[in-house]
């Protein structure tokens, strides 16, 4: 029996995508060779790559001024790749500090140049700050659109005096993509897009061109743009899965439909938490994430009891991140609405000793 998977990533994927992938591992599109076995230089994979990029551009409405890149690495890779490409030793980049992930990005920027903290919600990280203070001439302004661990999300991107760089790992394609002011958006794939170990980058071509030229080829975004993400063997299976996920998103009605469904799912859980005496949400209402709902029980014992009951009922992945504890329900695009109702029932049952 398949479980209800509330994992924060790698995370649940659409059944249709998994079934197609199952078939394609044996035989890709009637070619007699599976996706894991096809040469990345062959025409069959060429079609997969084209389908992935075209699907991404169509579903997110990405214009020709942006490059769409597949980078064989997780989002963490971009924490250092972004400053290495775009931040000079004597330059400053501004960072919005909203949790664990922005903290790691800031650490990497500081290895290269100066990172100015434009805003912070430390130490509780329960909200996305509303007031930002920028440095005199930031090279770029970095923010994390959805904080996966603390469960906060920017409703709209910040307004900034410099190009925006966004870590959108945990909410890319969960809602319409507003690229206004953005020079570069990156996301690890393992939440809403596909498997781990591959990231999607959407970046302005002119911004990429301004990056440093004296880095190794795979450390420059320029190389991925110039060589269609094929300087070396890409993660062919990852790109295949992303193409399938994007096709699924389109069939569901696109990013606007995703947003409506995601808002409805999260609302069910937040409404329950707001009315419960035993459970309480972490994030402030205006900053609540639609992707990762973080919450606590009135006692540690209640949380542990809930986790034990969850396991017995086939609900998996509800323990909070090891750095903050508590509980977390990740409700990415592919997570079924019924599953949220099952979680609410479980929380209610445990609260009332059932
Ligand atoms: N940024 C965010 C917002 C994340 O949620 C994660 C992973 N959970 C990362 C970065 C790091 O991704 P990876 O492990 O793929 O490097």
Percent of the residues in the chain that have a pLDDT greater than 90, as a whole number: 97
Write down the H helix ranges in 172-214: 205-209
Task: Please give the pLDDT value at position 241.
Answer: 98
User: Is the pLDDT at 212 greater than 80, yes or no?
Assistant: yes
User: Is the pLDDT at 350 greater than 90, yes or no?
Assistant: yes
Q: What does DSSP say about strands 66-71 and 164-167: parallel, antiparallel, or unpaired?
A: unpaired
What residues have CB less than 8 Å from 227, skipping those under 6 apart? none
Average pLDDT over residues 317-341: 94
pLDDT class of 96 with cuts at 50, 70, 90: very high
Q: What is the DSSP letter of 72?
A: S
Structure pTM?
A: 0.97
Which of 169, 191, 197, 242 should be mutated for ligand 1, with most atoms under 8 A from CB?
169
Distance (angstroms) between ligand 1 centre and the Cα of 339 equals: 24
Answer whether 152 contacts ligand 1 (Cβ < 6 A): no
Over the Cα atoms of the chain, what is R_g?
A: 21
What residues have CB less than 8 Å from 306, skipping those under 6 apart? 297, 318, 327, 346, 347, 350
pLDDT in tens, 224-273: 999 999 999 999 999 999 999 999 999 999 999 999 999 999 999 999 99
> Average per-residue pLDDT in the chain?
97
Q: φ and ψ at 207, to 5 degrees? A: -70, -45
The CA distances from residue 242 to 185, 198, 231, in Å, are 16, 10, 19
Give which of 11, 282, 290, 264 is closest to 145, Cα–Cα.
290
Which of 77, 96, 188 should be mutated for ligand 1, with most atoms under 8 A from CB?
188
CA distance linking residue 217 with residue 232, whole number of Å: 10
> Tokens standing for 74?
């997780």
CA distance linking residue 152 with residue 138, whole number of Å: 25
Distance (angstroms) between ligand 1 centre and the Cα of 79 equals: 10
User: How many Cβ atoms from other residues are within 10 Å of residue 131's Cβ?
Assistant: 6
Average pLDDT over residues 17-33: 98
Distance of CA 347 to the CA centre of its chain: 27
Q: How many residues does the chain have?
A: 354
Answer whether 7 contacts ligand 1 (Cβ < 6 A): no
CA distance linking residue 248 with residue 15, whole number of Å: 10
pLDDT in tens, 151-195: 999 999 999 999 999 999 999 999 999 999 999 999 999 999 999
Task: Please give the pLDDT value at position 257.
Answer: 98
Task: Please give the pLDDT value at position 207.
Answer: 98
Task: Please give the pLDDT value at position 323.
Answer: 75
Answer whether 194 contacts ligand 1 (Cβ < 6 A): no
Distance of CA 14 to the CA centre of its chain: 16
What residues have CB less than 8 Å from 165, skipping those under 6 apart? 82, 86, 93, 140, 141, 142, 143, 182, 183, 184, 185, 186
CA distance linking residue 176 with residue 186, whole number of Å: 15
User: How many Cβ atoms from other residues are within 10 Å of residue 273's Cβ?
Assistant: 19
Task: Please give the pLDDT value at position 322.
Answer: 79
Answer whether 9 contacts ligand 1 (Cβ < 6 A): yes
User: Is the pLDDT at 332 greater than 80, yes or no?
Assistant: yes
Task: Please give the pLDDT value at position 307.
Answer: 97
Task: Please give the pLDDT value at position 270.
Answer: 98
Whether residue 212 contacts residue 192, with contact meaning beta carbons closer than 8 Å, is answered with: no
Task: Please give the pLDDT value at position 321.
Answer: 86
Task: Please give the pLDDT value at position 93.
Answer: 98
Answer whether 247 contacts ligand 1 (Cβ < 6 A): no
The more confident residue out of 133 and 322 is 133
Percent of the residues in the chain that have a pLDDT greater than 70, as a whole number: 100
Average pLDDT over residues 265-287: 97
Percentages helix, strand, coil for the chain, rounded to the nearest 5? 40, 20, 45
Average pLDDT over residues 322-342: 94
What residues have CB less than 8 Å from 291, skipping those under 6 apart? 146, 148, 153, 170, 171, 174, 191, 192, 262, 266, 330, 331, 332
């Amino acid at each position: 029996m398949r479980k209800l998977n509330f994992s924060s990533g790698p995370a649940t994927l659409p059944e249709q995508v998994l079934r197609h992938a199952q078939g394609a591992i044996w035989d890709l599109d009637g070619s007699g060779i599976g996706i894991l076995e096809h040469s990345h230089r062959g025409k069959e994979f060429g079609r997969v790559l084209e389908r992935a990029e075209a699907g991404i551009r169509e579903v997110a409405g990405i214009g020709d001024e942006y490059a769409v890149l597949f980078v064989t690495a997780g989002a963490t890779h971009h924490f250092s790749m972004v400053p290495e490409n775009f931040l000079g030793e004597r330059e400053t980049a501004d960072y919005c500090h909203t949790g664990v992930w922005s903290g790691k990005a800031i650490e990497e920027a500081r290895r290269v140049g100066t990172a100015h903290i434009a805003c912070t919600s430390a130490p509780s990280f329960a909200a996305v700050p509303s007031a930002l203070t920028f440095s005199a001439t930031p090279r770029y302004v970095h923010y994390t659109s959805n904080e996966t661990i603390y469960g906060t999300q920017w409703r709209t991107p910040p307004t900034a005096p410099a190009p925006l760089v966004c870590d959108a790992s945990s909410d890319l394609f969960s809602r319409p993509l507003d690229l206004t002011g953005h020079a570069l958006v990156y996301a690890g794939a393992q939440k809403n897009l596909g498997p781990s170990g591959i990231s999607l980058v959407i970046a302005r071509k002119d911004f990429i061109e301004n990056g440093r030229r004296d880095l190794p080829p795979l450390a420059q975004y320029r190389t991925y743009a110039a060589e269609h993400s094929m300087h070396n063997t890409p993660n062919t299976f990852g790109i295949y899965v992303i193409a399938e996920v994007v096709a699924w998103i389109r069939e569901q009605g696109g990013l606007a439909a995703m947003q409506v469904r995601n808002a409805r799912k999260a609302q069910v859980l937040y409404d329950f938490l707001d009315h419960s005496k035993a459970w309480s949400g972490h994030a402030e209402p205006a900053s609540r994430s639609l992707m990762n709902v973080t919450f606590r029980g009135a006692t540690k014992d209640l949380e542990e009891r809930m986790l034990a009951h969850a396991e017995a009922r086939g609900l998996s992945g509800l323990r909070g991140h090891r750095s903050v504890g508590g509980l977390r329900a990740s409700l990415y695009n592919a997570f079924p609405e019924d599953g949220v109702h099952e979680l609410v029932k479980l929380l209610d049952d445990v609260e009332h000793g059932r």
